[in-house]
Structure 1
Amino acid sequence: MWLSEIEPGSKVKITDITKVTEVVRRRLLDMGIMEGTVVCMKRLLPFGGPCALEASGQWVGIRRQEAGLIQVEAV
């Protein structure tokens, strides 16, 4: 399952971030988001807009195209 497919309010565990670009991967790692991290999808903005995630008490916005490359599993 991909992060972009998750409904708002759902919690998932990240299993694979190797498909995103190195720049995005570095940005996520700098914020403590890596394989094994549990994140909660807070908002999906309309018209293909970005996703708002909560991880370790902080909100992070990422593009929906990038979220479509992050593999997750249900918690």
Structure 2
Amino acid sequence: MIAITLLETPYGSLMKVTNLDDVHPLVRRRLADLGIMQGSVISLRKAMPFGGPCTIEVKGQWIAIRRKDAGRIVVEAC
């Protein structure tokens, strides 16, 4: 499997989180509170222009996160 960042994935494709080590510990904790941890299945839904936030979907819930943080989440295809 090829590991890429969440920002490099096509919109709407299901991806499995493989590594969150580069994400800041406080952000990692908040993501875990929302159900995003290693092994979670997520998909990139939207990325706002001009470096704005990204919207991801996890278990039917849409969450907006900073583009910087989305670029540090390593995923692979399911």
**TM-score, normalisation: structure 1:** 0.94
Aligned residue-pair number: 75
Runs (4 or more) in structure 1 with deviation over 3 Å come to none
RMSD: 0.8
Q: Give the equivalent residue in structure 2 for 1:18.
A: 21
| Structure 2 Cα separation of the partners of residues 62 and 68 of structure 1 | 10
Matches within 5 A, 1:39-54: 39-54=42-57
Please, which runs of 5 or more residues in structure 2 have no aligned partner? none
Aligned-pair CA distance for 1:49: 1.1
**TM-score, normalisation: structure 2:** 0.90
Please, which runs of 5 or more residues in structure 1 have no aligned partner? none
Letter in 2 for 1:30: D
Percent of paired sites with the same residue: 49
